[in-house]
Structure 1
Amino acid sequence: MGNIIIEFSNWIWGPPILILLLGGGVYFLVHSGFVPFLRMGHAIKLLSGKYDDDLAPGQISSAQALSSAIAATVGLGNISGVAIAINMGGPGALFWMWVAAFVGMATKFYTCTLAIMYRGKDSAGEIQGGPMYFIEEGMGKKWKFLSVIFCVAGVIGLLSIFQANQLTAVIQAVLIEPDTMEETVRNRWIIGFGMMGLTAVVILGGIQRIASVASKLVPFMVAVYMITVLIIVFQYLDRVPEMFKLIFVDAFTGNAVMGGAVGAVIITGARRAAFSNEAGIGTAPIVHGASKNREPVREGLIAMLGPFVDTVIVCTLTALVILVTGVWENTENDGVRLTLEAFETGIPGVGKYLLMLSVLVFALSTMFTYSYYGQTCTSYLFGADKAHFHNYFYLATIVVGAVVSLEVVVSLVDGMYAIMAFPNMIAALYLSPKVRAATKDYFTRMKAEKQ
């Protein structure tokens, strides 16, 4: 079964999905008039809360929505996913992660604008957003099959099995270090049940509790991680220019993978970027669709900051630690263990504990938000009165994720992400003229208000 999952994931992440995500993102970037670059300042100002409307329909504020979305994306994809990308595609994979991130900002702007523009209601009458709703509300009932495909893949792909797997691995590597395989398996089960308990305390409180916890955890976890990374990078500051040169050269030669297959490096970078910032996958519109905002474009502008923070800043810092310490060249470690080795090399004795703290917070915050994504998909498929059953299924799979192999876990999530991307991107492209018209109208009104 594991081999089937791996083969399916490798098959579906071929040229079609690459063209859809990167090509679609480039289209959104140009079609919007380069909003991610030209309107970044306005997007940051929106986070001040000046334009918040507590009376608007929705369940959380826009800032809480962004915190929840970043909590889901700034996670183990940034720690383990980057290591996997370098291991699979060499340093050049990071360049294509950057490309995917910048076009991903445009994609998130479009999809999260649509999440407010075409909100729907679940069977309980609660306002909801996300690809499943803007497909049905914006494209019409005849396209509902795309919503169903998205939600089915979402229920499976938005489990926290990857986070559970990698958090278990780092806890064992740093604190326990079992002597036998029997101890390793036993410890994985114990850690899995512990994670399940911690996650249950938060997610059973609903989106308000998830958003509240995420808005407190996200700034803390990003600050601790970035400070630790910068301490290591400054120790190897003389190597940084050399590493950036290597990233750019390797991006177009592909020396680190498959005897110089540049296409494989591009696919690896785009695949890991999608895993990291989820732009084009359709998850962020679910939580942004729940925000209290009457201005669709305003929500899209706030949402587009996610890929920049996630990939351009956090993933780059992680990659630099792995590259400047040189651990990527002479190790058999993969995933979080490779990053762990880099941190231990950079700050001997302390680095591994700082990384473990970051991994713990990153993983748990992602687990909290993913549960809401999956619950919303379940609610759409089976009704709001049955959505709570997803939480119990979700919690049980945390334990499963703690004990299965990394390759199977990554392949399962990757495969489901690709399936989710197709209906999300098709709908966003179809409805893109609506977003462009709304964007023009919004900035015309903003300009008039200043005069």
Structure 2
Amino acid sequence: MEFLMELLGQINSYLSTYLTVPILLGAGLFFTIFSRFVQFRYLKETIRVLFEKTPGDNGKEISAFKSFCIGSATRIGTGNLAGVAVAITLGGPGAVFWMWIVALVGGATAFMESTLAQVYKVRDGKDAFRGGPAYYMEKGLKQRKVGIAFAILIAFTFGLIFNSVQSNTIAASINSTFDVPTSVVGIGLVVLSAIVIFGGVHRIANFTSIVVPIMAAIYIVIALIVVGMNLSALPEVFSLIITSALGFEQVIGGGIGAVIMNGVNRGLFSNEAGMGSAPNAAASSHVSHPVKQGFIQAAGVFLDTLVVCTATAFIILSAGQAEFGTEAGITLLQDSLASQIGGWANLFVSLAIFLFAFSSIAGSYYYGEKNIEFIKDSPKAILIYRFGTLAMVMFGAVATLDVVWSLADVFMGIMTILNIYAVLRLSKVSFTVLSDYMEQRKENKEPVFEPSKLGIDGTETWERLDFEEEKKKNVV
């Protein structure tokens, strides 16, 4: 195990120092500058799009608002709770600052990748769509082999590695609150996950789509209450975050490098901007123009990191219980929150984590399944993948915290690098689609996407979509 941890540590260090961090921040700045700060300029338009009706709404399509809720429910989970705790203890308070930076520039990255996912989406039955990086690599880049490589990565990263992170967080939380052995929790999670994976997904999905957003809202309210209770400490906490981030204080032995790497990695795990996972969900919505979904996904990144992660960080830092340089996850948040509002916080966080993480297990599995189907529609491959997912759920529950998070960092980094490569190569398409949208809005039109007029191919799904109602009214 020591050899494995040493190897993972070396790989993570190399990826973060030379590839993931510079590529993620560099690409985010590139997208931000050349889109003329798309993630900030169109906030008013984002709000308008968020609440508009679905084109030709028949009650079956996924609207922009539903997509935003689903995406937010998926993002707001272990990354916002346990992930922030890990970032602070391993990277110091300054890691939070770099999580903010990832979100600010990541909003543009999320816009770019989600717009591309819409441009190159395909039909998935009569009233549904599917897409994501594998699809825009095949249809946009004309590189199916690269798409297959990404499909393999996301299937392995989400269905296997990330699900071990989710089960690890659930097991640690339940063990801390109820003293239930992690092995017992793991067995229970395997059984529940098997029920979802082998047939009960629709019932569970309908349940979590209602409960998870409610739990997320309650968590945000509780966090705001804690902020209100410690309002006088707010300047001190922000000062600690900023001075630690910029190297003015030496928080742990790893110095500024550890601060940046932990902040960027945990920020990426939390809001997923640039990783290539969110585009799989973004492609499913039914909108009249791809840019609408790009706006919505950018807003989701801000909500995830600037609001929820910041609230978690404030709870932990204001409690003053974090031991920098040590390994701590969800238990640190539970203890910090309990010191602020009482012992019932442990029960609430355990329940919230269970709902967040369990819904993520189902969602992560289906990300993987859809990408396996992209490679080849093979029932045998799907069956093997299902058992592999269940095995990793059990492994995560009984494994140590550092192992599962290190594995997640490695595969998350590789996946991000491949996705950013594709988004950069196709950035001209995203910029063209954005210009088309804004030109129509300047003419007071409700934007409708007609790729053939823009010289964009590989978009057969859009050529067959019927937006005649929008074309008729054409003015908002």
1:17 to 9, 16, 20: 20
Contact 1:210–1:369 (Cα < 8 Å) also in 2:
no
2:351 to 354, 357, 368: 357
CA distance in 1, matches of 2:223, 2:425: 41
Question: For the structure 1 residues 52 and 44, does the alpha-carbon distance in structure 2 shift closer, same or farther, using more than 3 Å as the test?
Answer: farther
Residue 30 of structure 1 corresponds to 33
Contact 2:108–2:298 (Cα < 8 Å) also in 1:
yes
Q: Which amino acid aligns with 2:376?
A: F
Overall identity of the aligned pairs, in %: 35
What are the residue-to-residue correspondences of 1:381-392 with 2, within 5 Å?
A: 381-383=375-377, 385-386=379-380, 388-389=382-383, 390-392=385-387
1:283 to 253, 277, 295: 277
Residue 221 of structure 1 corresponds to 215
Residue 107 of structure 2 corresponds to 105
User: What CA deviation, in whole Å up to 9, does each residue of 1:29-58 have, x standing for no partner?
Assistant: 1121211111122222222242444479x9
User: What CA deviation, in whole Å up to 9, does each residue of 1:146-172 have, x standing for no partner?
Assistant: 222212221221031101001101101
User: What CA deviation, in whole Å up to 9, does each residue of 1:353-403 have, x standing for no partner?
Assistant: 121122112111211211111112221223264564233332332112111
Q: Which amino acid aligns with 2:20?
A: I
User: What CA deviation, in whole Å up to 9, does each residue of 1:203-233 have, x standing for no partner?
Assistant: 4458866764443133202112112222322
Q: Which amino acid aligns with 1:79?
A: L
CA distance in 2, matches of 1:227, 1:242: 22
Question: For the structure 1 residues 203 and 33, does the alpha-carbon distance in structure 2 shift closer, same or farther, using more than 3 Å as the test?
Answer: farther
Question: For the structure 1 residues 107 and 207, does the alpha-carbon distance in structure 2 shift closer, same or farther, using more than 3 Å as the test?
Answer: farther
RMSD between superposed Cα atoms in Å:
2.6
Contact 2:86–2:327 (Cα < 8 Å) also in 1:
no
Contact 1:90–1:254 (Cα < 8 Å) also in 2:
no
- Alignment of 1:439 with 2:434, yes or no, is yes
Question: For the structure 1 residues 146 and 258, does the alpha-carbon distance in structure 2 shift closer, same or farther, using more than 3 Å as the test?
Answer: farther
- Alignment of 1:149 with 2:144, yes or no, is no
Residue 182 of structure 1 corresponds to none
1:245 to 218, 233, 239: 239
Question: For the structure 1 residues 253 and 309, does the alpha-carbon distance in structure 2 shift closer, same or farther, using more than 3 Å as the test?
Answer: same
Note the C-alpha offset of 1:7. Answer: 3.2
Residue 303 of structure 1 corresponds to 297
Contact 1:65–1:288 (Cα < 8 Å) also in 2:
yes
Contact 2:334–2:346 (Cα < 8 Å) also in 1:
yes
**Which secondary structure does the structure 2 equivalent of 1:198 belong to?**
helix
**Which secondary structure does the structure 2 equivalent of 1:14 belong to?**
helix
CA distance in 2, matches of 1:204, 1:296: 33
What are the residue-to-residue correspondences of 1:185-224 with 2, within 5 Å?
A: 187-204=181-198, 212-224=206-218
Residue 173 of structure 1 corresponds to 176
Residue 400 of structure 1 corresponds to 395
Question: For the structure 1 residues 249 and 199, does the alpha-carbon distance in structure 2 shift closer, same or farther, using more than 3 Å as the test?
Answer: same
Question: For the structure 1 residues 263 and 189, does the alpha-carbon distance in structure 2 shift closer, same or farther, using more than 3 Å as the test?
Answer: closer
Contact 2:89–2:325 (Cα < 8 Å) also in 1:
no
**Which secondary structure does the structure 1 equivalent of 2:51 belong to?**
coil
CA distance in 2, matches of 1:89, 1:335: 13
User: What CA deviation, in whole Å up to 9, does each residue of 1:167-206 have, x standing for no partner?
Assistant: 10110110126xxxxxxxxx22221122233334444458
What are the residue-to-residue correspondences of 1:83-102 with 2, within 5 Å?
A: 83-102=85-104
Residue 413 of structure 2 corresponds to 418
Note the C-alpha offset of 1:126. Answer: 8.0
Question: For the structure 1 residues 48 and 384, does the alpha-carbon distance in structure 2 shift closer, same or farther, using more than 3 Å as the test?
Answer: farther
Contact 1:274–1:281 (Cα < 8 Å) also in 2:
yes
2:132 to 117, 130, 133: 130
1:262 to 242, 256, 259: 256
CA distance in 2, matches of 1:103, 1:241: 24
**Which secondary structure does the structure 2 equivalent of 1:7 belong to?**
helix
User: What CA deviation, in whole Å up to 9, does each residue of 1:56-114 have, x standing for no partner?
Assistant: 9x963333333333233211111111011111111111111001011111111100100
Contact 2:243–2:249 (Cα < 8 Å) also in 1:
no
Question: For the structure 1 residues 121 and 7, does the alpha-carbon distance in structure 2 shift closer, same or farther, using more than 3 Å as the test?
Answer: farther
Contact 1:288–1:303 (Cα < 8 Å) also in 2:
yes
Structure 1 gaps, min length 5 = 178-186
Choose between structure 1 and 2 for higher RCO, CA contacts under 8 A separated by at least 6 residues.
1
Number of residues of Structure 1 aligned to a counterpart in Structure 2: 439
Note the C-alpha offset of 1:329. Answer: 4.3
Q: Which amino acid aligns with 1:87?
A: T
- Alignment of 1:77 with 2:79, yes or no, is yes
Q: Which amino acid aligns with 2:177?
A: V
Q: When the two structures are superposed, what TM-score results if normalisation uses the length of structure 2?
A: 0.85
Residue 164 of structure 1 corresponds to 167
Contact 1:157–1:413 (Cα < 8 Å) also in 2:
yes
Question: For the structure 1 residues 384 and 261, does the alpha-carbon distance in structure 2 shift closer, same or farther, using more than 3 Å as the test?
Answer: same
Question: For the structure 1 residues 394 and 260, does the alpha-carbon distance in structure 2 shift closer, same or farther, using more than 3 Å as the test?
Answer: closer
Query: Which stretch shows the higher mean deviation, 325-334 or 215-224?
Result: 325-334
**Which secondary structure does the structure 2 equivalent of 1:328 belong to?**
coil
Q: Which amino acid aligns with 1:27?
A: F
